Amino acid sequence: MPYDLKEIAAISGMPGLYRLVKPTRAGVIIEALDEKGTRSVASARNKVSLLHEISIYTQDYDQTVPLTEVFDRIYQQHGKELAVTNKSDDRDLSAFMAGIMPDYDRERVYMSDIKKLVQWYRVVSQKLDYQAPAAEEATEEVPEEAPKAKKKAAKKDEPAADEALSTAGIIPAAEETNAAGNPEAGEAKPAKKPTKKKAE
């Protein structure tokens, strides 16, 4: 997983992104992904959208691409520095989106979603370390090394909206059962009973 988004969330009514630190009775302790890194408590009434549970619609109605994979595509093409921001022209943002995901659904992915995607990537790429794909995957093709950009202080660009990406454009990949995002458990197949051969 290139960028580990399991503990990164967008919270309704609060601008920017946050790292989930620890659950409390009243909600969850969060740490802002900005220069200050201030900690606060998000109330249980706040809607917490975990980034690793968000996916983007494709033209195949039943197919979505996880945000983690989308971020990886952006990194492979652009590295940490993006030429576009959430305030860029709509044409530039549409061209950027088509460049990283040519098959994204133009009707269900809104411009506001693309703006949030860009803003979120800018925050994540500055605050989280990019992890190269695991060597466990036995593929002979070695991805080209992206130039290592020097860490710069994240710009304080506020997102266009402080809400999470709309479900009309970018949807959760799984139901939000809990903030920890437990891995899906595989269904156990019932063992077949051995058939006894009847002696004639």
Q: What is the pLDDT of residue 96?
A: 97
- pTM value surpassing 0.75: no
User: What are the CA-CA distances from residue 32 to residues 20, 41, 170 (Å)?
Assistant: 9, 11, 22
**Per residue in 6-19, pLDDT tens?**
999 999 888 899 99
- Residues 6 or more apart whose CB falls under 8 angstroms from that of 94 comprise 111, 114
**Per residue in 167-188, pLDDT tens?**
444 444 444 444 444 444 444 4
Which has more confidence, 141 or 88? 88
- Length of the chain (residues): 200
Closest by Cα among 65, 66, 75 to 2: 75
